[in-house]
Amino acid sequence: MVIMANQIFISYSKKDRDFAWKLADDLANAGHNVWIDRSLQVGEDWEQTIEKQLAEADEVIVVLSSNAIASKWVQHEGSIAYGLKKRMYPVLIEELPAEDLPIWMSKFQYHSFVNVDYETSFDGLNAVLTPKNPIQDLLDRKHYDYETYQLLLEPKELEIVAAQLGNPSLELNDADKRLLLYSALAHGLGQRWMTLAGESSVLWLREAIHDSDCPAIVRRGAAASLGAVGDRAAYDQLNQVIQGFNTDGSKGDALDLLAMFLHHSPLEFKLPGRFRWSVFRRLARLRVQDGAKERRQMRRVGMATAFVCVAILYAWVVVTSANGLSGDDLLIFLFFAVMGTFAAYIFAETMTSLCLILKRQRFVWQALALLVTGSVTGYLLFLFVTGGDGVWSLGSFIGLALVVLRNWQPPRPELTRWGLGAIAGILAALLAYLLLKPTVADMGEVISAALFTAVYIFWSVKT
């Protein structure tokens, strides 16, 4: 990787020109890419050019003096640089009262040339501006961005650093490693970066959880990563914090963090006593959110299958009816098709969400919840899919099958899903036949009920 010099913009008062120009020359001789307004050409729009150079600059040096404070152009340039979140280096060339300093300058550390040998002070400034290597320069800038604006590395920047971790010239200190870990946490990559810091990573994550000044996204990422490694000490600390609160407002963050920890933990932890329900609700929300892809898949499967089942049902009516299908029957078909797909949407969303929410609960509670919910939502579903409510219990059958599938890992999933789908269809057909005792004209109801059950369970295994 080639080291590219950052562009440095120097802002100064015309009355401090001698110092500013000398500083620009010395920085240029040291290898920096410096822009100062003496580079303006005749005929240029100087205000537009300055704003353009400020936008392109990586770093801004403000030569700070009483002349600069009195200069509206220095104030203007400084305000623009601050608004663009540039790295700013105030260079103090005379003593100034604190109350005279502009507001936007209060966050930045000064580099003083007052009562200090010029060469010594220049070497110090040059050392700050000169990177050891491109990666270290990136990290130095990101340290500044984090300390000033709480901005972290982006995923692409993390990839750049990761590609250079084997470079012997790159020497990361603890501050660098912590910044990288925090950035990874913000993007859901904490597990991959914990090995970089070794044992210290767990300590840093515990500290991040309890640091209210730490960005919320980092704290949540830390809780998730500690949960993924089953760190009991972090669980105990969060539990103690929660038990110490008495008001809902003050404990909300801690409850969210504990829920995030438990959501990602492969181990079983007891929910905290009197806050069990509060944590469970948060856990439920996290599980439903993380299962968005699965919920969307099952909704599509349910809706498409319901529409096909209604079509088969009415096709059977046409085939077995001597009078065929009238215009009114077609309207009824459309009504049942629309309502069936809507009922399938409700059924799939409810059943899939319950499976996600209750996945850590005991088998008996899962079975009870899905049996009851399946029968309630299944009543409306099979009413429209089969044209009658006699097979409403198939919703409970599907619910029980889902519980079994969630708690059993088949040895050969591909073969198992076909087998289970076929078995579910046969059992559903048998159950529907026993419940309905249909004539030939009513067999469409059995076929529709069996098809929906078989397809839904087949896709549940696949998902």
Domain boundaries, the chain: 7-129, 138-286, 291-462
| Nearest alpha carbon to residue 425 among 452, 395, 390 | 452
Percent of the chain at pLDDT exceeding 70: 89
Quote the tokens at residue 14. 């015309």
CB contact at 8 A, 94 and 114: yes
Calpha distance 445→455 (Å, rounded): 16
Calpha distance 28→122 (Å, rounded): 12
CB contact at 8 A, 375 and 393: yes
In a 3-state reduction of DSSP, which class is residue 45?
Answer: coil
In a 3-state reduction of DSSP, which class is residue 225?
Answer: helix
Section 423-450 average pLDDT: 79
pLDDT band at residue 3, thresholds of 50, 70 and 90?
Answer: very low
Task: Determine the pLDDT at residue 288.
Answer: 95
CATH homologous superfamily of 7-129 equals Toll/interleukin-1 receptor homology (TIR) domain (3.40.50.10140)
| Nearest alpha carbon to residue 64 among 99, 89, 37 | 89
Calpha distance 162→165 (Å, rounded): 5
Lowest mean pLDDT among 48-57, 210-219, 249-258, 410-419: 410-419
Is a pLDDT exceeding 60 seen at residue 1?
no
Task: Determine the pLDDT at residue 32.
Answer: 83
pLDDT digits (tens, 9 = 90+) for 25-42: 999 888 788 998 876 554
Task: Determine the pLDDT at residue 63.
Answer: 93
pLDDT digits (tens, 9 = 90+) for 348-371: 999 999 999 998 888 999 999 999
The packing angle between helices 200-209 and 216-228, to 10°, is 130
Task: Determine the pLDDT at residue 4.
Answer: 46
Calpha distance 257→239 (Å, rounded): 10
The packing angle between helices 200-209 and 232-243, to 10°, is 20
Lowest mean pLDDT among 121-130, 132-141, 263-272: 132-141
Section 175-181 average pLDDT: 94
Instruction: Return the residue matching tokens 């050392």.
Output: 127
Quote the tokens at residue 249. 């407002």
Measure CA 275 to chain center.
26
Give 62-119 as a DSSP string. EEESHHHHH-HHHHHHHHHHHHTT-EEEEEE-S---GGGS-GGGTTS--EE-TTS-HH
Task: Determine the pLDDT at residue 463.
Answer: 63
CB contact at 8 A, 401 and 366: no
CB contact at 8 A, 339 and 413: no
Section 434-449 average pLDDT: 77
pLDDT digits (tens, 9 = 90+) for 306-363: 999 999 988 887 788 766 556 677 788 889 999 999 999 999 999 999 999 998 888 9
Quote the tokens at residue 328. 């009114």
The structure's pTM equals 0.66
Calpha distance 463→453 (Å, rounded): 15
